[in-house]
Amino acid sequence: MFTGSIVALVTPFKNGEVDFKKLGELIEFHVREGTTAISPCGTTGESPTLSHEEHEKVIAEVVQRVQGRIPVIAGTGSNNTQEALRLTKFAQKAGADGALVITPYYNRPTQEGLYRHFKALAEETDIPIVLYNVPSRTGVSISPETVARLAEFKNIVAIKEASGSLDQVSAILGLCDITVLSGEDSLILPILSIGGKGVVSVVANIVPRETSAMISSFFNGDMETARKAHHRLYPLTKAMFIETNPIPVKTAMRILGRLNGELRLPLCEMTEANKRQLTKALDDYGLL
Any catalytic annotation for residue 275?
no
Write down the catalytic residue from 22, 115, 160, 197: 160
Contact present, 50 and 59 (Cβ < 8 Å)? no
CB under 8 A, 24+ apart: contacts of 68-71: 69/31, 70/30, 70/31, 70/35, 70/36, 70/37, 70/38, 71/2, 71/6, 71/36, 71/37, 71/38, 71/97, 71/98
Closest CA to 139 of 157, 114, 116, 117: 114
Write down the catalytic residue from 132, 197, 250, 275: 132
Closest CA to 22 of 200, 255, 260, 240: 260
Alpha carbon distance 286, 193 (integer Å)? 27
Any catalytic annotation for residue 160?
yes
Q: Which residues are catalytic?
A: 132, 160
